[in-house]
Every structure is written in C-alpha cells, then in structure tokens.
Amino acid sequence: MDISASIEEKHFNDAKNAVTKLIEKIASFTVTPNYEIVFFSSEVFEVVRILDFLDKKITLKAVLTELENFKIGEKNTGTDLNSVFTTFLERMAIIKQQVGEERFKEHRHVLIFFTDGAYNMGGSPAPTVEQIKNMVYMNQTGPQSNQSREEYLDIYIFAIGAEVFDSDLQPLATGIGDRHYYKMKDITNLQETFDDIIDEEEVKGLCGLHKDYETQNGNKRQRYPWWASITIKNQGLPRDCLGSLVTTKFVLTAAHCFTFEDLPKHVKVVIDDGQGKEKKIKTFKIHPQYNISAKVNKGVKEFYDYDVALIQLEEDVNISSAARPICIPCTQETSDALKLVGESTCKQQEDILLKTHLESLSFLTKKGITVHEKDVKAKIGDNRDDCIKHALEAPGIQTNDPKEVVTDNFLCTGGQEPTVDHISCKGDSGGAVYKNYEHRTIQVALVSWGTKDLCGSGGGVVNSDRTSRDFHINLFRVVPFLKSILGDDTLDYAPLTFLKS
C-alpha cells in the first residue's frame, strides 16, 4: 500500500480496510495463506513478514492487529515502487531456498498493490517484475508449454489517487485473464471486486458462503444462495413453504407443510441454480416423531414438536455463487466454518451460535418473486419462560402449561422487548432460522409455527406485537434425524460428515 505524499489519507484508510475485509473473507474459506503486508514511500515498512509464517511466529489475528495498528508517520518526499517488488522477490527467493524447489512449485503467489504508480526513486519496477515471473514460471509459460505455470502468479494493481500513471502501472499487472488492473475512484467497498478475483471453483464446495451485498441487478439469490421455494398441490389450495438447501440433493423444511396424502409428484421445489428453476422430487421424509395430533387429549389441538422434514431431489443442484448449501449443526463442515480445530463437538458449536440469552437470528419471507430478511432475538435461558408462556394464547390451546405446547426442541422469538422482533407470516414455514458467522451462514433452526397471524394476505416483513410469538425447531435437537439421512454413506449421494458427539 502506497503511503507517499501523492496518496491522500482517505485512500490509505480505505485501502487498509479493504485489505482487512479481504483477509477475513479468505479466512472464511478455511484456507490459511501466508501474508506479507508492506507500506511504502521512499522506503518499505514491513508490517507483516511472510517469513514469520514459515517460522510459525505469527497468527492471522496478529496480522489483522498489526494492519489495524499501522499509522502513517511523517510523509516521505520520495516514492520507490521498485523497492516493493524487490522486497517481494527477495522474500520469494528465501522461501524457495527454505522449502526446496519441488515444494516451491506448489506455491501460488498473489501480489496486490494499491498505488497511483508515481515513482521518483529506484527506477522502473518492470525488470523486477520479469525476475518474479521467471522465478515462478520456471520458463514454462505460453501456449507451447505443456506445463504452463502462469496460474501460479497473479499481480493485481488497484490504481488509486488523484492522478494515476496508467502507462507505468498496467504492464505490471499479470495473470490468467484480463481482470488484474483496476482503476478505482472509490475503494470503500471492494467486496464485489474481490469476489470476482476469487476463483469460485476453488471454494464452491463450502457450505454457507454467500455475498454480503446485493448484486447490481438487485438479485438476492447470491446473498441467500441456499433458499428454496416449496409449493405442495394435492387437494384444495396449494400450500407454500420455504426451505433451505443443506446438500446438493436435499432441502430441509417443516413437516407440517405436508399432509398424509401427499406424494413426491405433488411437491414443487424451486431453486434457481442456472440449470432450470424447478427441481424434480425423488422423495421426502418426515421426522418419525412428528405427530400433530399427539396431545389433543391434553388440550393441544395442533402439536408441532419434531416439525422437520427433508426433501430429496432427483438430481444434484448445480453449485455456484447463486445456489449453495447452508451449514447445519453438528457437522464437520460447520466446525470448519466456525474455525474449530481438532475433534470438535456439537456443544462447542452450540456455545458459539446460541451463546447469549438474547441471540440475534434471521429468517426469510417471500414476497412476490423475491425474498426479504427478518430479524429476531431468540429468548434463551432465563428469558425463555417469559417468551413461551404466550403460546397459551394461540388458538386451539386449552392447557395451562406452556411446556406442554412448546418443548425444549423449540427456540422462541417475537414480542417487543428488548427490541421489536419481526414475526413470521404464512408461507415462511420451513425456512431457515440462521446467523452469519464471519462470511458463512449457519442454520440453527427452522420456522415452525406462531401464535398470531399479523401479516394479512400480503405477507412480507411485519413487526411483532407485544404478545405475538414464533416457535422454531432447534436443529441441535433433531440431529439424529438429520444424521440418519444426510450422514448415510451407503446411498447414492454425497453424505455430510456428522460429529461423533
């Protein structure tokens, strides 16, 4: 990052924030790159040394701390852009010497510069860039080579500043494709550009990845790439529910979306994965303990315990940034997303995801052809009893014990204290109740039932009143059912890896 006199402090701070977000984004992919971070003017300030990674002297947390703490001191009058490239060349040479040539061949090198390209010291960096290329390419580049190594080096230039020297900067950018040189008027939000840089193929198998912003055309598919629309048409009016893609072949939803007479041919699942929106259904499976009439004799007309079902699709969903599974509890995939090392447990995951007695969660509602996000606070621990008591006010409830209606398998949301929650509407049933954890989305529950219909016919984002409540099946409480199907490695689909405890 350029800190010479020609770079305004605003550009410096914006670049620093952009790099922080990029490092955090990469960390969410469960990969662990080594970093070298330098600021330069007439001299180079090594804030984070890549050699410290080889010696295991630094952690990712320390990298972000060092980056945050670096401040511009007195401005240097000169700018030596070549010295930065020379620093990188020297560090790469040391790495090659330490790891040996064969292991060095496996290293991928990504250099990202924020500069206006103006330099008055050190000469042109072009010859140094050629040396870097020669070190990485090993004379194996171009169409005539059977072992082209161009993909092992990317040099990205983000041109910033009041006056940019394009002719000097553009030739320094290199790599496969033409997206390596960016002229930036505003770098406050580079997330979309960084997502373009990142190779989707390398990370598409990871659950819970999503874009943290809406794309320019307003399509929310990439922000919530796991959401599915479900319609069941058998007898009478069609029933609409939401669901979540939990593997390439399974959609998780609520059991009460189905009736005893429904068959797979009556179920329509829509997931826009670029290969046809409507998905053919192979079968669906309802939790064996779900029984809506189980407590009629106890004054509970409709009992929604174990209100969970899985829909199996005929074919795998085409995974991309627009269609990708959400993470679910008690799987190794979720432990990776939470950065839990070693042999992790369900309890560890639950302690992270549902750690407070007022846990911020979200779920979706469909309005028209798009979805909108609703925000709630799950009342846990000491707050739970005061929340679930309002279940007694729901139609068809004639018991005085709220725990007969709302078992420990439910999370409770709604009301206006300490904040006004959103409330579920008809059609929200089965949708994921989730939280975002460092760029990964993890589902902790699914929308089951509520005490009041405050939405009217339009649905959408609606506020709770003082006593309205929603109850969501806590996925941590139905893991055996999920594991029996999604973790079965004897069938013709890729299973999830469930934790031992």
Establish if 67 belongs to a structural domain: yes
What CATH number does residue 358 fall under? Answer: 2.40.10.120
**41, two tokens:** 């003017």
Instruction: Please indicate, yes or no, whether residues 41 and 121 belong to a single structural domain of this protein.
Output: yes
In a domain? residue 497: no
* Whole-number pLDDT of residue 146: 45
Domain boundary among 180, 198, 216: 198
Distance, in Å, from the CA atom of 368 to the CA atom of 427, rounded to the nearest integer, reads 11
Q: Are residue 334 and residue 458 in the same domain, yes or no?
A: yes
Count other C-beta atoms under 10 Å from residue 54's C-beta: 15
SS3 of 169, please? helix
Q: Is 235 in the same domain as 167? A: no
| 189 in a structural domain | yes
- For residue 290, being part of any structural domain is answered with yes
pLDDT digits (tens, 9 = 90+) for 309-329: 999 999 999 988 889 999 999
Structure tokens at 501: 């405890």
Is the residue at 3 inside a domain? no
Residues 278-305: b if buried by 16+ CB within 10 A, e if exposed: ebebeebebbeebebeebeeeebebbbb
**Is 256 noted as a catalytic residue in this protein?**
yes
- The reply to whether 376 falls in a domain is yes
Domain CATH code at residue 88: 3.40.50.410
pLDDT at 161 over 70: yes
Do 87 and 231 sit in the same domain of this protein? no
In-domain check, residue 205: no
Q: Which of 180, 210, 256, 422 is catalytic?
A: 256
303 and 451 assigned to the same domain: yes
* Pair of tokens at residue 392: 């007694």
Q: What is the per-residue pLDDT across 102-121, written as a single tens digit (0 to 9) for each? A: 999 999 999 999 888 888 89
Integer angstrom CA distances of residue 453 from 80, 362, 417: 66, 19, 19
* Distance, CA of 348 to CA of 353 (rounded, Å): 9
Of 344, 429, 448, 464, catalytic: 429
At 147, list the tokens: 């072992």
Whether 107 and 232 map to the same domain: the answer is no
Instruction: Say if residue 287 is in the same domain as residue 356.
Output: yes
Catalytic residue among 14, 168, 307, 428: 307
Specify whether 237 is located in the same domain as 182: no
Domain that holds residue 18: 9-198
Length of the chain: 501
Mean local confidence (pLDDT), 145-167: 82
Q: Is 214 part of a structural domain of the chain?
A: no
Q: Do residues 399 and 316 both lie within one domain?
A: yes
Where is the domain boundary, 177, 198, 219?
Answer: 198
CA distance 171 to 165: 11
Q: List Cβ neighbours of 333 (8 Å cut-off, separation of 6 or more).
A: 206, 207, 327, 496, 497
**Residues 337 and 472 reside in one and the same domain:** yes
Do 30 and 113 reside in the same domain of the chain? yes
Query: 101-105, 174-178, 342-346, 443-447: which has the minimum mean pLDDT?
Result: 174-178
What is the overall mean pLDDT for the chain?
Answer: 89
Mean pLDDT of 52-80: 84
Residues 296, 187, single domain; the answer is no
Q: In the chain, how many domains are there?
A: 2
Picking from 181, 198, 215, the residue at the C-terminal end of a domain is 198
